[in-house]
Structure 1
Amino acid sequence: MPTITRIENDLLSIDISSLGAEMQAITTRDGAQWLWNGDAAFWTGRSPVLFPIVGKAPDDTLLIDGKPHAMAQHGFARRREFSLAAASDTLCRYSLQASDETRAVYPFDFLLSVEHSLDGPTLTVAAEIENRGRTAMPFGFGFHPAFAWPLPGAAGKRHVVMLHNAGEPQRQPLEKGLLSQDRTPSPFAAGRLVLSPDLFVDDALVFPEGAGSGLTFQAEGGPALAFRFENLPNLALWTKPGARFLCVEPWHGTAAEYGGSGELKDRPYTTVLAAGAHARFAFTVTFPV
């Protein structure tokens, strides 16, 4: 059975599961719950880590140097048991290393470390990936946290996403779970998107470029969550009809393009990590306390 590690300070408490190094709860000192509760009627995820791919592969089959490997949407890390590598009152680090089981579908030696830490009202979630093999290692990586929508104490208020760069990034629609090669006009106006369930009837909103390195998810006249992204150039927003969450998903890598190559190295924004090298990806979110 997975184990739960709790980190906390005077303002925030975070519960993280060893299964997928996935957050299970974010609680402020007033008892408010800011993370989606994983209601199985809609979606059991809460904050999965996406590795070694983001999104889908054609027919759930990934090509690596021309050889097919079965790979489910968003990769396998979210379904693996991680080991607790470090823990203190305000920090925990879980790690996943390559095994015979992972090499059967992803033939590389890696170490994936996911660290959650607190500093006042700010949570930082950082991932470091090390290539422990002797050849270059391609992969995609992303975060997929689901936050309460409406935000605590903000029922009935209009919710918006505000891009800190005031951008109007084009959307790249999904076609059978893969990225269409078309682009559609931005739903943002001067960096502002008014949220509505209707936006997500055709799946997630994916913005491969132009969303910038930060945003605010807020209720007008109510609470706000401020995000900053590190080495995460792609953004997706997602919910399911009838559910009460909004996923704010910063990525480095996307689904394969519909009608495009099935090769991992050819997927948009794939990272190719040299032997012995490291890559870091992180986001911070600051809570109103």
Structure 2
Amino acid sequence: MQLIEIGNEHLSVTVSPLGSEMQSIVTSDGQSWLWDGDAAFWAGRSPVLFPMVGKAPDDHISIDGQRFPMGQHGFARRSQFELAEQGADFCRFELKSSLSSRTVYPFDFTLSLEHRLVGRAVQVTAEVHNSGHSLMPFGIGFHPAFVWPLPGCEGQSHSVVLDNGHAPALVRLSGGLVKPEKLASPFVDGRLVLDHELFASDAMLFPDGAGAGLRYGTADKAIHFTWENLPNLALWSKPGAPFICLEPWHGTAAEMGGSDDLAERPYGEVLGPGSSGLYRFKAEMVG
């Protein structure tokens, strides 16, 4: 399918209508910063997670007492979006509820995704609109994967440094579901030195306390990554894979032994009829 390309003097970005998923970030020097989706490791690049984040027990959710099948991270990432607006340095895609979507998620909604270039940064904004007549529960998150090591930084140590300098408690997953116990933070004074062994037990989830920004990279080259209205942070890779995902979420996977009710998932959102919610991340290439 035809990709949409946007650009400015610093960056060139491509976006696919499938999932409104970013496919590449290339700086003016020709360096690629976004993971290329090599299926030998993971075919994703920068999916949006909606109407839930993570897994549900037995891959089913409940809404008002009814059960519906729902695969990991929801259906938006595998849905065809429609191009709503495009300019030289931005594009906006929309996904609207349909007969098909209502069979698994019985709500009327519009999910808009805008990719916009701001200097050396790409800013991705999701707007969720409840166009129905009832309360609409959901989760939403972003899942961008950046190359590890960064371009030209082969053999160098990479770190994630939280802007707030905190050491948020770690939560792990089992079978894709959230374990209830909180573990000691791997951050020291806001810094985590990356090692592939950190991901031997799947993603690292920080439900609280990670703040709203971080710096990923080396001493000389980095991505300054910030987010809005997304209280949870996850870091994920596959051991040995040349990428790392920086994932801000509003809502997590269901808890082990917990309810499959979508409205009861940790940190989930609920919009009233006619209401909208905005969620955003910004990735600035530094160095």
TM-score range, shorter chain: over 0.9
Match of 1:230 in 2: 228
Report the identity percentage.
Answer: 54
CA–CA distance in structure 1, aligned partners of residues 174 and 145 of structure 2: 23
Show CA shifts across 1:244-265 (max 9, x none). Answer: 0000000000000000111000
CA–CA distance in structure 1, aligned partners of residues 10 and 90 of structure 2: 14
1:204 maps onto 2:203 in alignment: yes
Question: Mapping of 1:236-247 within 5 angstroms?
Answer: 236-247=234-245
Aligned length: 287
Segments ≥4 residues shifted beyond 2 Å: none
Amino acid paired to 1:71: M
1:41 maps onto 2:24 in alignment: no
Determine if contact 2:224/2:286 at 8 Å carries over to the other structure.
Answer: no
Match of 1:288 in 2: 286
Q: Secondary structure at the match of 1:216?
A: strand
CA–CA distance in structure 2, aligned partners of residues 176 and 183 of structure 1: 17
Q: Secondary structure at the match of 1:193?
A: strand
Match of 2:49 in 1: 50
1:93 maps onto 2:92 in alignment: yes
Match of 1:251 in 2: 249
Match of 2:165 in 1: 166
Query: What is the TM-score of this pair, normalised by structure 1?
Result: 0.98
Amino acid paired to 1:170: A
Amino acid paired to 1:134: H
CA–CA distance in structure 1, aligned partners of residues 162 and 153 of structure 2: 20
Question: Mapping of 1:1-289 within 5 angstroms?
Answer: 2-220=1-219, 222-288=220-286
Amino acid paired to 2:223: L
CA–CA distance in structure 1, aligned partners of residues 36 and 101 of structure 2: 29
CA–CA distance in structure 2, aligned partners of residues 267 and 217 of structure 1: 29
- Unaligned regions of 5+ residues in structure 1, if any? none
CA–CA distance in structure 2, aligned partners of residues 227 and 33 of structure 1: 16
CA–CA distance in structure 1, aligned partners of residues 70 and 280 of structure 2: 24
Show CA shifts across 1:200-249 (max 9, x none). Answer: 000000000100010000113x3111011100110000001221000000
CA–CA distance in structure 2, aligned partners of residues 285 and 242 of structure 1: 24
Q: Secondary structure at the match of 2:286?
A: coil
Show CA shifts across 1:108-154 (max 9, x none). Answer: 00000000001111111000000000001000000000000000010
- Unaligned regions of 5+ residues in structure 2, if any? none
Q: Secondary structure at the match of 1:7?
A: strand
CA–CA distance in structure 1, aligned partners of residues 198 and 16 of structure 2: 31
Q: 1:277 Cα shift? A: 0.2
Query: What is the TM-score of this pair, normalised by structure 2?
Result: 0.99
CA–CA distance in structure 2, aligned partners of residues 162 and 147 of structure 1: 15
Show CA shifts across 1:166-195 (max 9, x none). Answer: 010001110111000111000000100000
Q: Structure 1 residues 115-124 or 102-111, which shifts more? A: 115-124
Q: Secondary structure at the match of 2:58?
A: helix
